[in-house]
Structure 1
Amino acid sequence: MLNKIIESYRVSFSGLSRETWLLSVVILVNRCGYMAVPFMSMYITQSLHRSIADAGLIITLFGAGSVLGGMAGGYLTDIWGFRPVQIVCLVISGLLFVLFGMVTSFTGLCILIVVLSFFVEAFKPANSTAVAAYSSPGNLTRSYALNRLAMNIGFGFGTSVGGILAAINYSLLFWVDGVVYILAGLLIVLLLPKAKMVSRSGHAHAAEIVGQSPWKDALFVRFLVVVMLYMICFILLFRLVPVYWKEEMHIGESTIGILLGMNGIIIALFEMVLIQNLGNRRPDSYYMVAGTVFSALAFSMLVVPVIAPVILAAAAVILFTIGEMLALPYISTFVMSRASEFNRGKYSAAYSVSQSVAQIIAPAAGGYIAAHWGYNVLWVTLVILSFSCALGFRMLFQGKMRLG
Structure 2
Amino acid sequence: MLNKIIESYRVSFSGLSRETWLLSLVILINRCGYMAVPFMSMYITQSLHRSIADAGLIITLFGVGSVLGGMAGGYLTDFWGFRPVQIFSLLVSGLFFVLFGLVTNFTGLCFLIVLLSFFVEAFKPANSTAVAAYSAPENLTRSYTLNRLAMNIGFGFGTSVGGILAAINYSLLFWVDGIVYAFAGALIMFLLPGAKTVPQSGNVHTPETVAAPAAGQSPWKDALFVRFLAIIMLYMICFILLFRLVPVYWKEEMHIGESTIGILLGMNGIIIALFEMILIQNLANRRPDSYYMVAGTIFSAFAFSMLVVPAIAPVILAAAAVILFTIGEMLALPYISTFVMSRASVFNRGKYSAAYSVSQSVAQIIGPAAGGYIAAHWGYNVLWVTLVVLSFSCAFGFKTLFQGKMGLG
Q: How far does the alpha carbon of each residue in 1:139-164 deviate from its partner, in whole angstroms, 9 at most, with x for none?
A: 00000000000000000000000000
- Residue 202 of structure 1 is matched in structure 2 by none
Pair 1:233 & 2:235 matched: no
User: Which of 253, 277, 282 is the equivalent residue of 1:277?
Assistant: 282
**Structure 2 Cα separation of the partners of residues 171 and 318 of structure 1:** 29
- Residue 60 of structure 1 is matched in structure 2 by 60
Pair 1:371 & 2:351 matched: no
SS in 1 for 2:20: helix
Pair 1:78 & 2:78 matched: yes
Q: How far does the alpha carbon of each residue in 1:157-197 deviate from its partner, in whole angstroms, 9 at most, with x for none?
A: 00000000000000000000000000000000110132569
**Structure 1 Cα separation of the partners of residues 92 and 406 of structure 2:** 43
User: How high is the sequence identity, in percent, across the aligned residues?
Assistant: 89
AA of the residue aligned to 2:377: H
C-alpha RMSD of matched pairs (Å): 1.4
SS in 2 for 1:186: helix
SS in 2 for 1:34: coil
Pair 1:290 & 2:295 matched: yes
Q: Contact 2:298–2:395 at 8 Å: present in 1 too?
A: yes
The aligned runs of 1:328-347 (5 Å cut-off) are: 328-347=333-352
**Structure 2 Cα separation of the partners of residues 104 and 251 of structure 1:** 26
AA of the residue aligned to 1:246: K
**Structure 2 Cα separation of the partners of residues 213 and 77 of structure 1:** 14
AA of the residue aligned to 1:283: P
- Residue 107 of structure 2 is matched in structure 1 by 107
What TM-score results when the alignment is normalised by the length of structure 2? 0.95
- Residue 44 of structure 1 is matched in structure 2 by 44
Q: How far does the alpha carbon of each residue in 1:289-319 deviate from its partner, in whole angstroms, 9 at most, with x for none?
A: 0000000000000000111000000000000
**How big is the shift at 1:402?**
4.8
Q: Contact 1:394–1:401 at 8 Å: present in 2 too?
A: no
For the structure 1 residues 197 and 23, does the alpha-carbon distance in structure 2 shift closer, same or farther, using more than 3 Å as the test?
Answer: closer
- Residue 137 of structure 1 is matched in structure 2 by 137
- Residue 254 of structure 1 is matched in structure 2 by 259
- Residue 177 of structure 1 is matched in structure 2 by 177
The number of equivalent residue pairs is 396
SS in 2 for 1:299: helix
**Structure 2 Cα separation of the partners of residues 148 and 47 of structure 1:** 31
- Residue 88 of structure 2 is matched in structure 1 by 88
The aligned runs of 1:314-333 (5 Å cut-off) are: 314-333=319-338
**Structure 2 Cα separation of the partners of residues 316 and 59 of structure 1:** 22
Q: Contact 2:19–2:195 at 8 Å: present in 1 too?
A: no
What TM-score results when the alignment is normalised by the length of structure 1? 0.96
User: Which of 400, 403, 409 is the equivalent residue of 1:398?
Assistant: 403
Q: Contact 1:198–1:341 at 8 Å: present in 2 too?
A: no
- Residue 33 of structure 1 is matched in structure 2 by 33
Q: How far does the alpha carbon of each residue in 1:343-378 deviate from its partner, in whole angstroms, 9 at most, with x for none?
A: 000000000000000000000000000000000000
Pair 1:123 & 2:109 matched: no
**How big is the shift at 1:209?**
2.0
SS in 1 for 2:346: coil
- Residue 165 of structure 1 is matched in structure 2 by 165
Q: How far does the alpha carbon of each residue in 1:102-159 deviate from its partner, in whole angstroms, 9 at most, with x for none?
A: 0000000000000000000000000000000000000000000000000000000000
Q: Contact 1:65–1:117 at 8 Å: present in 2 too?
A: yes
SS in 2 for 1:54: helix
For the structure 1 residues 291 and 352, does the alpha-carbon distance in structure 2 shift closer, same or farther, using more than 3 Å as the test?
Answer: same
**Structure 1 Cα separation of the partners of residues 34 and 117 of structure 2:** 13
- Residue 218 of structure 2 is matched in structure 1 by 213
**How big is the shift at 1:211?**
6.8
AA of the residue aligned to 1:147: N
**Structure 2 Cα separation of the partners of residues 193 and 144 of structure 1:** 21
For the structure 1 residues 89 and 373, does the alpha-carbon distance in structure 2 shift closer, same or farther, using more than 3 Å as the test?
Answer: same
Q: Contact 1:74–1:345 at 8 Å: present in 2 too?
A: yes
AA of the residue aligned to 1:171: S
Q: Contact 1:159–1:257 at 8 Å: present in 2 too?
A: yes
AA of the residue aligned to 1:290: A
User: Which of 333, 348, 353 is the equivalent residue of 1:348?
Assistant: 353
